[in-house]
Structure 1
Amino acid sequence: MSLSLSSKYISADVQHYLELLQVLVSRNLKVRYRGSFLGIYWSLLNPLIMTGLYTAIFGATFSKYYGNSIANYILAAFTGLIVINFFSASTSQALSSVVGNGALLNKIRLPVSIFPVSMITANIFQFVMGTYPLLAIVALIKSHSLVNVFAILLPFTALVMFCVGVGFFVSALYVFFRDLPYFYELVVFMLWISSPVFYPAAIVSNSVKPFLSINPLSPIIESLRQITLSGNLPDIMMIASALLSGTIFAILGWAYFHQSRSQFMDLL
């Protein structure tokens, strides 16, 4: 009897959380794109423009690392930019989500974790509706396999888990340290420059590679490129490495958020 009651309350809590998440995600997207002509497809504009810029500057030099194909370099740069832009947007929006909703939390009892999660979920929706179809078409053309089309979601899942972990951590930390956004901009830049976004990992010197290998975004980018551009079946080891890294960060971020949230209300 007690087990059935427990299951009932757990399912009700989960349902309530999902309903709140749907409301907040819808609100985030409506506010973000109110009056916009292209809506969520504006999220593609930045990586497309930056891909064109990188191609104009580095395309002729770096194309030799991509089968002497400018087209392959364009696709490689685009996939790298998708990852870094998703990370930057998701975690930066999650950073201010708890503090930004402090007034609401003081009036209504809500699960605090819903705010950083809703920011990241809104960006997931943008990816699924805007970017994923493009990557799926490229993967299908290159590999002629539906396995690769669906395998794209595996490194993306690793990216989401990494963003969730970082989002939990920075949103909790911002409650205590209000100068964090300025420092976090530098962190994002360091992750961007140390990720093989517009350059191939092969050009990095051996003395620097150990430092780049600890960047959690690097295996995600390389796995996404391998699935979409190589024409081969997905590399299980690359996917596993990306998923393991994402899982570790998600657990650590949630642990810090869970430990700190009891102190939030005194500071919001």
Structure 2
Amino acid sequence: MRRYRELLYVLVSRNLKTRYRGSFLGVYWSLLNPLIMTVLYTAIFGTTFASYYGNSIPNYVLAAFTGLVVINFFSASTSQALSSVVTNGALLNKISLPVSIFPVSMVAANIFQFSVGALPLLAVITWIYSKNIVNVMALLFPFLALVLVCTGIGFLVSALYVFFRDLPYFYELVVFVLWISSPVFYPAAIVPSQVKRFLGLNPLSSIIESLRQIALSAALPDWGLIGNALLSGIIILSLGWFCFQMWRSQFMDLL
């Protein structure tokens, strides 16, 4: 476990240094996209959807920002994990390493970005709205669910990419479908009940709704929402890990 931890640290450091070498803002660039998109969504939809957030444009701004940081974290971490095994194929052919460390390192790099960027901002917003340390601490639970989902999907897509090199083009469509079916820029209340049952299959929906409930209301955390998010994360992580381990023995012939 100590060697695994040290290797993970090396890979995450390499990933972040390569990604932000010579960058002025460094990891804080990860905040720029959701902030710009929040401004854009507010300009287009703010007046229309503000009524679902207490007739408050600032409430809509914060709700849109919360949804965007979730979908951006998911898109970045899983897309980077997708190619991680194949990209490091030459290294795996020379040195015996735990293959699963590569998709995990991509998710871990994004966890670091989130922890120094969006998470402190969400914590401040939560404290302003709830004035309750319980709500601030409870932010970690939907974030943990998001990490579990991303790690499970990362295992799955990184394994599939070894066999199907056209996967990135298809996965872009998958991410778009998950984004549009998640209540990112629109409130979940406007979705028709007939459609909502299908959108409920989207694991990101419960995570976004849980984060919003914790951060933007004065009420105590809804443990039902948190439980659903964590359960989805555990199921997806288990499925992704099972598939990764089942196919791992065939990787070296194709790398």
* TM-score (normalised: structure 1): 0.95
Distance in 1 between residues matched to 2:193 and 2:121, nearest whole Å:
34
Q: 2:170 aligns with which of 178, 183, 189?
A: 183
66, 84, 93: which one aligns with 2:53: 66
Which letter does structure 2 place at the counterpart of 1:222?
E
Larger Rg: 1
Equivalent residue letter for 2:71: I
Aligned counterparts of 1:74 and 1:267: Cα–Cα separation in 2: 47
* Alignment match of 1:125 (pick from 84, 97, 112): 112
In 2, distance between residues paired with 1:93 and 1:114?
A: 13
Distance 2:225 2:194 in 1: 22
Give CA-to-partner distance per residue, 1:196-245, whole Å, 9 cap, x none: 00000111112211111111100000000000001111111100000000
> What is the Cα deviation at residue 150 of structure 1?
1.1
The equivalent of 1:107 in structure 2 is 94
Could you say which residue in structure 1 is the equivalent of 2:82?
95
Distance 1:147 1:100 in 2: 42
Unaligned runs of 5+ in 1: 1-13
Displacement of 1:163 in angstroms is: 0.4
Q: Which runs of 4+ in 1 moved over 2 A?
A: none
In 2: Cα distance, 1:150 partner to 1:23 partner: 29
What is the alpha-carbon distance in structure 2 between the residues aligned to residue 232 and residue 116 of structure 1? 37
Q: CA deviation at 1:158?
A: 0.2
Partner of 1:81: 68
Aligned to 2:132: 145
1:52 and 1:165 mapped to 2: Cα distance?
31
**What is the CA–CA distance in structure 2 between the aligned matches of 1:36 and 1:195, rounded to whole Å?**
31
2:25 equivalent to 1:42: no
- Per the alignment, residue 10 of structure 1 pairs with none
Gaps of 5+ in 2: none
Supply the distance in 2 between the matched residues of 1:233 and 1:254 (Cα, whole angstroms): 34
Counterpart residue identity of residue 51, structure 2: K
Alignment of 1:1-268 (within 5 A): 14-268=1-255
Give % identity. Answer: 75
Secondary structure (helix, strand or coil) at the match of 2:207 reads helix
What is the CA deviation profile of residues 69-118 of structure 1, one whole-angstrom value per residue up to 9, with x for unaligned ones?
00000000000000000000000000000000000101111000000000
Instruction: Report the RMSD for the aligned CA atoms in angstroms.
Output: 0.4
Amino acid at match of 2:127: L
CA distance in 2, matches of 1:78, 1:212: 20
Q: Please give the TM-score of this superposition, normalised by the length of structure 2.
A: 0.99
Q: Quote the Cα distance in structure 2 between the aligned partners of 1:133 and 1:207.
A: 37
Give per-residue Cα distances to partners, 1:140-176, cap 9 Å, x unaligned.
0101011111110100000000000000000000000
Aligned partners of 2:137 and 2:16: how far apart in 1?
25
State the Cα distance separating 1:254 from its structure 2 match. 0.2
CA drift at 1:20: 0.1
SS in 2 for 1:178: coil
How many residue pairs are counted as aligned between the two chains?
Answer: 255
SS at match of 1:207: helix
Cα distance in 2, alignment partners of residues 253 and 207 from structure 1 = 29
Partners of 2:204 and 2:225 in 1: how far apart? 12
